[in-house]
Structures are given as C-alpha cells and as structure tokens.
Amino acid sequence: DLSRWLAKSGTFPLAVVSFGLPVSVSLPCPVIQLDLPLLGGRSQYEVWCCDHPIRFYKHGGTVAAMTGVVLFGSITAPEDPNTGLAHTTEQAYGELLRLLREFGFPHLWRIWNYFPRINDEQHGLERYRLFCMGRHHALTDALPGFPGSLPAGTAVGTQRGPLQMYFLAGAQPVTHLGNPRQLNAYEYPEIYGPRSPSFARATLCRSEGAPQLFISGTASVVGHQSRHEGLPDLQALETVTNLRALIDRAQDLAPAIDRGTSHSVFKVYVRNQKYLETVQHVLQGSFLLPSRLLYLQGDLCRKELLVEIEGLITTD
C-alpha cells in the first residue's frame, strides 16, 4: 500500500515508478507508469525518497522534484507519427537540458529511457537507432563536456505508450565510468547505427559523503560485439562478468562500494518470459542477492540480446 508506506516512512517522495500497476494516489513528484510487466514476483513500486521537503515543478509532459542537491525529472513525449521517433527524442532531450539549465542542475547523473517497438523498423531504420540519432543530435553540442559528461543510462522497449524518460541531475559533478571489458557505447562503430548510443557504463556519485554507484543497463556485450546469440544462460553469465568488472573499477575509486551489499538493487530485464527460469538459475549462482532483484519483461536494444541488468549500489 503505497500511500500508507509513504505516510509511515517519515520521508518525502522524490519519485514513484510503477510497472504495469496504476498509481491511485496523487503525489507532488514525478509518477512514472511503465508498461513493463513484472515477472515472477509480487507487485512492487520503485520509490525514490529524501529527508527534506522537495520543490515540485510541472509543465506539460515535464515533471520534477528538487532538493538543494538533486533534481529528479520525468518527461513524457507522445510520438508524432509524421515526424518520427528521432525528432520526438531530440525534442524531449532539448526539454531535459532546458529544465536542468532553468533550475541549476547542470550535471546529469542517470537517465532511463523507455519507448515501444524498440526493434521495429521505421523510415528504413530500427527505432532504437532513430532514438540514438535524436538523443545524439540533442546532446552533442548542447551538453557541456560531451561525451565524457554522459551519465549512466538504460534504454528498454515497452509494449506500448509514449517515449518516457526519467533522470537524476545534480548541482555538483559526478564521475562517469567505462567498463574495462566493453568499448564505451559512445565510441561504437557505425555498424550499430548512424549515431552512437549516448551513455556511460556507470556513474559514481560522491556528493553526499556516502558514495552511490548508478550502473547502466548491462548486457552480453564484450568490446562492442554481442556474445552468445540465442543462449540466455551464457548471456546472463557474461552480463554478470561485465557487472563484476565494472563494480570492481568503481571500488578502486570508492572502496566503500561493495557488490555483495544489501544496500543494492538490481533490475533484470528479460526479453521473453520463457527465459526467466534460466536467467534466475544463473543469477542464483552469482554475487547478486536474490532479495534485491526485480525481474521485468522488456525488449532490449539489439535484437539478439535476451537479458540486461542495471543497478544501484549505495553505502549507508
């Protein structure tokens, strides 16, 4: 029961994300409803909260909650079929940058992107690639420090709905990390699309004393190539190896970051319910704590990818 939980918690909601479930309470913060079915578990909400009252902002499809330190924003952009997804994405990212400028949170920490039919073709190009073009176009000149200032990201396909983005941005800078086993996505060769995907593998945030690590959607990609096509078990294993390498690198910079901590949450996106058991079985033998995992059915940005895992590790 969301409203009872919030009333009892003694905290202030910064954002609520729901997976398939309607949110019946009205809250002074972004509320994001994603068409991503929960797999193999009881329904849960993702609740972001903070100790201080927030400032609330709403204008059209843009909603934000702010403290003195952090802004949580969401942008909902219905697609105009005449202009296409690249244009919709470029506009939405332009709006995101405008919001950050208006309220003085120039440093992007983390972005989540969701839109339907991610692997379908439109105007002769896969929709994920159109999305990457619009995102790149909006950010390349307007985001100071691009591409080194790009934050951790997720891009996952829903069944239906508008383009939905939610994001964290801060007043203070953060550290963006690459994965030693993977090429930076913003350096992918053109075989993956005319414009490269604009995200970092992880973002380490140390502004509040206790470090936090935002881990991007991580899949069975080594270098820039997809591995283990058609094999969900080996893809899950490769993904865990990638996560381990990434978290180890973050730990070199912030020793308090611990991959086995219960102060962590991971989201596992599985392309098809039929792979769930296999993926769960592999993850049971990994460092990921079963109680800290949420399984969702979502489409992934390369047709051959069957599983992707993102996470957040905190240290207090």
Chain positions contacting ligand 3EB, by CB under 6 A: 113, 153-155, 185, 197, 199, 216-217, 219, 221, 301
Q: Which is nearer to ligand 3EB, 100 or 307 (CB)?
A: 307
Q: How far is the CB of 136 from ligand 3EB (least distance, A)?
A: 10
| Radius of gyration, alpha carbons of the chain | 18
Name the region of 194 (left: φ>0; alpha: ψ -120 to 50; beta: rest): alpha
Which residue has its beta carbon closest to ligand 3EB?
A: 217
List phi, psi (to 5°) of 176: -100, 140
Q: Which of 95, 126, 238, 308 is catalytic?
A: 308
**Residue with smaller CB distance to ligand 3EB, 100 or 215:** 215
Q: Residue 128's Cα: distance from chain center in Å?
A: 15
Measured from the CB of residue 75, what is the shortest distance to ligand 3EB in angstroms? 15
Shortest spacing between CB 123 and ligand 3EB, in angstroms: 19
Nearer to ligand 3EB, 13 or 157 (CB): 157
The DSSP symbol for 182 reads B
Cα of first residue to Cα of last residue in the chain, in angstroms, is 26
CA 168 to the chain's CA centroid: 10
Burial state string for 206-242 with b = 16 or more CB within 10 A and e = fewer than 16? bbeeebbbbbbbbbbbeeeebbbeebbebbbbbbbbb
Please indicate whether residue 308 is annotated as part of the active site: yes
Nearest distance from C-beta of residue 156 to ligand 3EB, angstroms: 8
CB-wise, 54 or 309, nearer to ligand 3EB? 309
Positions annotated as catalytic residues are 308
